[in-house]
Chains A and B, each alone.
Chain A
Amino acid sequence: MQFTKLTCRLWFQRVSRHNKDFCSKVPKTPKWEEVDHTRIPNVPHIDQEMINHLERVSLVEFNNQAGIERLSKAIESANKLHMVNTDGIEPMESVLEDRMLYLREDKVTDGRCKQEVLSNAVKTIEDYFVAPPGNIPLKTKERDYGSNSKGS
């Protein structure tokens, strides 16, 4: 979301400045702007509860202290996007947003390919996929996330 805002902003600036050659959306020369770090929002404290939550919704394990640091860096880097002024600019969700959405006629044209559908399944019983029961919580392994993550 934030990334698209940035893209939008750059494009907007470019169009307004060089109205004649707006077919190219890439600046001709690289531009560098120093970011005032004091104005970037702080990286939130990442405690055990937050790690559990993130691991659960992303299905990614952070494994160790290095993983947590990498996450902090990533958040800090992403936070720089807050520096871009997007006031009054409608967020662009897709480059196709002004296109007509193609609508298909309501006809059966697909399916009936049980073999292919089941081909990646680890285990099947009578043409059903076999899955673990319900939502089972992520296994809690003993992992060392360092002392600073021992939060609430």
Chain B
Amino acid sequence: MWSKQWKSVVGLEIHAQINTESKLFSGAENKFGGPTNTQVSLFDAAFPGTLPVLNKGCVEAGVLTALALRCTVNKVSKFDRKHYFYADLPAGYQITQQRQPLAVKGYVDYCISDKNNFQTKTANITQIQLEQDSGKSLHDEKDKISLIDLNRCGTGLMEIVTEPDFSDGTDASAFVKELQKILQTIQTCDCKMEEGSLRVDANISVHKPGERLGVRTEVKNLNSIKSVSKAISFEVKRQIELLENGGVVENETRSFDTEIDETVPMRDKEVKTDYRFMPEPNLPPLHLFDNESVKTVASKISVINIDDIQQKLPPLPEDTRKRLEQQYCLKRRDVAVLVDNSGLVDYFEEVMRLSPTTNAKLVSNFIINQLLGVLNDKKFTIHNCPVTTDDFGRLIDLVQTEEISYSTSYKVLDEMFEHPNITPEDIVEQKDWRQISDTQVLTNICEKVLEEHPKIIAKYRKGKLKYLHTLVNKAVIDSNNKGNPRILKQIMEDLLDNK
């Protein structure tokens, strides 16, 4: 009942580790899972006298990301210090971009699909800023100590802040999925949430329509798509129940416990954080150029041209979806599945290239409904799929020309996985799976079925049309699943009408 009276509002802050060789301000290696404290420079460990030197690769990745998210890139951006004390932040401050970030005001189109619903939505991006990651703490509860590894300390992050444009967990997680795909396409972040290279914080509040926004809570460090969805759903429900029972939502930071699927208050929460932001004195502002302004610079060292980077922007998932829709007249829902799974679009287009006469809808259906399932069952991916695009296209041709039935094609595909060297035609031949389309043979089968089931005929004649299918199915079974269902249905109808 209550769910209709409340409206939930969700905004996201996403931390994406930049996919570079070295760190944001130091030349230490930037790789996941290195031996403890080996990928640390003296700057990362905040030794006195060390200074930050900005990584060109990180800025280029940030600009490319900003362009992919349709942001306006600031020609001048600035760095700030954000102070707080924590053992995995040796300097006592994080270098970030608080006042003038790298880019502002962008948007992302994304698809939400569940069983009943399929729609395209737009989320607005507030800003993208470059900042340092912190080290990692391992908490030893028993001995009451924290173990600190600084390998991650100083890794470049892009903090992507969205407007509060999401309505619930499903909505927000669909956006994160799309963002993941975009960043993977442009290769600025590997987006391995399980390794922490993409982390999501969600700001959540509820209010009644027409009233002011409610007090929000922040759920930090969501590290899977499922957690994003579940944590937000739980938090919305918790806040509504709290308010319904006369309580108040506290403005607090919470974390998501994946064991119980609930959000819990963070243990070391502070009353009011005072980050004492100040301009980073060791880094002058970052200037970026375009084709026009680049002419005014004498030396090309340290120069980044936004227009050059724009040229490098590959087609994004939404571009690919739109192209496939138009080029092959496919449904958006199907196109979304193809684009969602890495490698499927290439496979699809290769099949279409090799046999252009094949029905594109049939090909995409086969890939989505058959190939994906078999790949999963047999623990393959599309990248090491033993069935070549050539053989796959020929399998579909067999169905299109009614040489084999749709249901037989499942069995053929299965065989093709087991014996990649045998063509689909040979498999059909060897197994004697060819479909019977001979009308005389099929008419005989249908007549026999009708003789055996006078009661079903009677029901059909009373106007219950679904009994036609019952009769056709029986004929299919009688033909050892080899009779062409389309022709069988036709013959059956003719026979019934003429009797």
The yes or no answer to B217 lying at the interface (CB within 8 A) is no
Contact with A along B458-469 (1 / 0, CB 8 A): 000000000000
On chain B, the residues within 8 Å of A101 by CB distance are 54, 283-287, 302
The yes or no answer to A111 lying at the interface (CB within 8 A) is yes
Contact with B along A119-152 (1 / 0, CB 8 A): 0000001111111111100000000000000000
The yes or no answer to B267 lying at the interface (CB within 8 A) is yes
CB-based contact B53/A102 at 8 Å: yes
Interface residues on A, range: 35 or more
A94's partner among B44, B279, B287 (CB-CB below 8 A) is B279
Residues of B near any A CB (own CB < 8 A): 20-22, 26-30, 35-45, 53-59, 78, 83, 85-87, 137-141, 144-150, 267-268, 270, 274, 276, 278-279, 281, 283-287, 301-302, 304
CB-based contact B27/A117 at 8 Å: no
On chain B, the residues within 8 Å of A112 by CB distance are 29, 38-39
CB-based contact B150/A117 at 8 Å: yes
The yes or no answer to A57 lying at the interface (CB within 8 A) is yes
On chain B, the residues within 8 Å of A105 by CB distance are 56-57
Q: Please, how many angstroms separate the alpha-carbon atoms of A146 and B27 in the complex?
A: 51
CB nearest to B40 among chain A residues:
A117
Q: Closest Cβ of chain A: how far from B265's Cβ, in Å?
A: 14
On chain A, the residues within 8 Å of B286 by CB distance are 101
CB-based contact A104/B40 at 8 Å: no
CB-based contact B37/A110 at 8 Å: no
The yes or no answer to A99 lying at the interface (CB within 8 A) is yes
CB-based contact B138/A128 at 8 Å: yes
CB-based contact A103/B27 at 8 Å: no
A132's partner among B38, B146, B278 (CB-CB below 8 A) is B146
CB nearest to A59 among chain B residues:
B85
Residues A83-109 near B (CB distance < 8 A):
93-94, 96-109
Number of A-B contacts (CB under 8 A): 145
Residues A69-94 near B (CB distance < 8 A):
93-94
Q: Closest Cβ of chain B: how far from A102's Cβ, in Å?
A: 5
Q: Closest Cβ of chain B: how far from A48's Cβ, in Å?
A: 14
B54's partner among A103, A116, A132 (CB-CB below 8 A) is A103
On chain B, the residues within 8 Å of A53 by CB distance are 274
CB nearest to B144 among chain A residues:
A133
Contact with B along A11-37 (1 / 0, CB 8 A): 000000000000000000000000000
The interface centre, meaning the residue of A98, A116, A135 with most chain B CB atoms within 10 A of its CB, is: A135
9 A-B pairs with the lowest CB-CB distances in the bound complex, closest first: A106-B57, A111-B28, A109-B27, A131-B87, A110-B27, A128-B147, A103-B56, A110-B41, A129-B148
CB-based contact B26/A110 at 8 Å: yes
CB-based contact B150/A129 at 8 Å: yes
Given A109-B27, A111-B38, also A104-B54 (CB < 8 A): yes
CB nearest to A118 among chain B residues:
B37
CB-based contact B147/A129 at 8 Å: yes
A106's partner among B40, B55, B146, B148 (CB-CB below 8 A) is B55
Q: Please, how many angstroms separate the alpha-carbon atoms of A114 and B27 in the complex?
A: 15
CB-based contact A57/B83 at 8 Å: yes
CB-based contact A114/B54 at 8 Å: no
CB-based contact B41/A127 at 8 Å: no
The interface centre, meaning the residue of A96, A111, A113 with most chain B CB atoms within 10 A of its CB, is: A111
CB nearest to A1 among chain B residues:
B278
CB-based contact B54/A111 at 8 Å: no
On chain B, the residues within 8 Å of A100 by CB distance are 284, 287, 302
Q: Please, how many angstroms separate the alpha-carbon atoms of A131 and B293 in the complex?
A: 49
Given A53-B274, A131-B148, A132-B145, also A104-B27 (CB < 8 A): yes
A–B Cβ pairs within 8 angstroms, 9 of them: A93-B78, A96-B284, A97-B285, A103-B56, A112-B39, A114-B36, A125-B145, A125-B147, A135-B86
CB nearest to B99 among chain A residues:
A93
B40's partner among A111, A126, A134 (CB-CB below 8 A) is A111
A108's partner among B29, B43, B278 (CB-CB below 8 A) is B29
CB-based contact B53/A104 at 8 Å: yes
CB-based contact B37/A128 at 8 Å: yes
Q: Closest Cβ of chain A: how far from B80's Cβ, in Å?
A: 10
Q: Please, how many angstroms separate the alpha-carbon atoms of A125 and B41 in the complex?
A: 20
Q: Please, how many angstroms separate the alpha-carbon atoms of A104 and B28 in the complex?
A: 12
On chain A, the residues within 8 Å of B39 by CB distance are 111-112
Q: Closest Cβ of chain B: how far from A82's Cβ, in Å?
A: 19
Q: Closest Cβ of chain B: how far from A137's Cβ, in Å?
A: 9
Q: Please, how many angstroms separate the alpha-carbon atoms of A101 and B56 in the complex?
A: 10
Given A113-B40, A113-B41, also A132-B87 (CB < 8 A): yes
CB-based contact A110/B147 at 8 Å: no
On chain A, the residues within 8 Å of B283 by CB distance are 101
Q: Please, how many angstroms separate the alpha-carbon atoms of A67 and B270 in the complex?
A: 25
A117's partner among B42, B267, B302 (CB-CB below 8 A) is B42
Q: Closest Cβ of chain B: how far from A67's Cβ, in Å?
A: 20
Q: Please, how many angstroms separate the alpha-carbon atoms of A128 and B37 in the complex?
A: 7
New A-B contacts (15) at CB < 8 Å, excluding given A113-B42, A126-B36 = A101-B284, A101-B285, A101-B286, A103-B302, A106-B21, A106-B57, A114-B38, A117-B45, A128-B36, A130-B147, A131-B87, A131-B146, A133-B144, A134-B267, A135-B85
Q: Closest Cβ of chain A: how far from B99's Cβ, in Å?
A: 9
Q: Closest Cβ of chain B: how far from A123's Cβ, in Å?
A: 9
CB-based contact A116/B42 at 8 Å: yes
